[in-house]
Structure 1
Amino acid sequence: MTILRLRGFEIHKSYLTLSAQRGLLDAVRGVVKQVPFFRPVMPSGQQMSVRMTSAGDYGWLSDTQGYRYAPTHPNGTPWPAIPPEVLAIWNDLTGLERQPESCLINYYASDAKMGLHQDKNETDFRWPVVSISLGDEGMLRVGGQKRGGKTDSLWLQSGDVVVMGGEARLNYHGIDRIRAGSSTLLPKGGRINITLRVVT
């Protein structure tokens, strides 16, 4: 495993073995069976290109009322517990006693992307965000803490894990594009991104 750094983000390349990736994918499928993927709408009314669901005490929602964490899926179902396979990654890479309260699961089809944004709906930015990649490669773009200006990019591959913490916690970041067919982990292709956050 190699650790790279991109504008303060720690990127643990090939952190997950293929066997571990498959186990994590099975855990994600168990969550999705209980709380299906949905496509959020931004406050502007435009629909996001990614599909999303969550696990933990809180899930992240977006609609015309704004961005926020909520205790239930849009259909009213409480979010299931965060799978232990996911929590093990948080514990190993952060060493924190504080456990994440939210596990966001995003599915990117080949034409999906995520614009530059900050993760700032949480109460305390001292806690890191841990991001796990499964499936097709995604181009991560990272900037600074103000919108605009220079950015740097790097391809994230299946099994890579990014820790966004410290001074880089509020850096703008996004996924520019997906390299379709670059992984065989997901039978129908696409990329799954799992992010762990302390909310309160």
Structure 2
Amino acid sequence: MLDLFAEEEPWSEPLADGAVILRRRALSDADALLEQVAKIAAQNPFHHRITPGGHRMSVAMTNCGDLGWTTDSRGYQYSEQDNAGGTRWPPMPTLFRQLAVSCAAEAGFANFNPDACLLNRYEPGAKLTLHQDKDERDLRQPIVSVSLGLPAVFQFGGFERSDATTRVLLEHGDVVVWGGPSRLRYHGILPLKPGIHPQAGAFRFNLTFRRAH
């Protein structure tokens, strides 16, 4: 008899040259990942950052690792501590690092060594406008992005903000890896639709691993 509730086996879905979606790759670790997210947020709470232009971001953020990405009136930067509270970022959990490294390797990027993990929390209506990840020193290292909770529509574009975008639905446990020829492609998230996820409630969480320095 077919088990309609059995977990799907992960599979790979090409997105562009140097970019791939590893569908359901983090599903088996999802509960443990969310537990670690809660522990990190207890040490450094999610916070709506203010952009250099003075706008409040709809996505709430925190970080873990040696460095964290943040924004304020001075611009976008990586730092060893949270400029909102002056405290060091929580350490990156072993599970986070192992997942990021193994997913990068599966996508063709060996020797990935992340030193920063940006944690984004989306509530209904929250979005991330098209942007490039270009504040990192070594652009040869890929980006590894893990989706947990509510589904969201991911936009993956070209090398100009005005380029056409591919829109794909990212669901609980999906991992996107991009680097090499796709490393500086514009990408973003469309406004999150309301819903309730069994493990994440009314939120979508995104873990984005980078090699910042």
TM tier, smaller: over 0.9
Give the match for residue 144 of structure 2: 130
Residues of 1 paired with 2:181 and 2:111: CA distance? 20
2:211 aligned with 1:198, yes or no?
yes
Task: Quote how far apart the aligned CAs of 1:178 are.
Answer: 1.6
The answer (yes or no) to whether the contact 1:7–1:143 under 8 Å persists in 2 is no
The answer (yes or no) to whether the contact 2:20–2:176 under 8 Å persists in 1 is yes
Q: 1:91 aligns with which of 101, 107, 112?
A: 101
Match of 1:40, SS state, is strand
TM-score where L is the length of structure 2: 0.89
Equivalent residue runs for 1:49-60 within 5 Å: 49-60=58-69
Q: Gaps (5+ residues) in structure 1? A: none
Give the match for residue 173 of structure 1: 187
Which residue identity does 2:57 align to in structure 1?
A: M
Q: CA RMSD in A?
A: 1.2
Residues of 1 paired with 2:163 and 2:69: CA distance? 28
2:76 aligned with 1:45, yes or no?
no
Give the match for residue 185 of structure 1: 199
Residues of 2 paired with 1:14 and 1:182: CA distance? 19
Task: Quote how far apart the aligned CAs of 1:98 are.
Answer: 4.3
Match of 1:89, SS state, is helix
Residues of 2 paired with 1:97 and 1:126: CA distance? 11
Task: Quote how far apart the aligned CAs of 1:185 are.
Answer: 1.6
Residues of 2 paired with 1:141 and 1:98: CA distance? 24
Match of 2:172, SS state, is coil
Which residue identity does 1:192 align to in structure 2?
A: F
Which residue identity does 2:24 align to in structure 1?
A: S
Task: Quote how far apart the aligned CAs of 1:180 are.
Answer: 2.4
Task: Quote how far apart the aligned CAs of 1:182 are.
Answer: 5.9
Residues of 2 paired with 1:183 and 1:4: CA distance? 24
2:125 aligned with 1:111, yes or no?
yes
The answer (yes or no) to whether the contact 1:7–1:144 under 8 Å persists in 2 is no
Residues of 2 paired with 1:179 and 1:136: CA distance? 8
Distance 1:37 1:84, change over 3 A: same
* Count of matched residue positions in the alignment of Structure 1 and Structure 2: 198
The answer (yes or no) to whether the contact 2:101–2:112 under 8 Å persists in 1 is no
Identity over aligned pairs, percent? 37
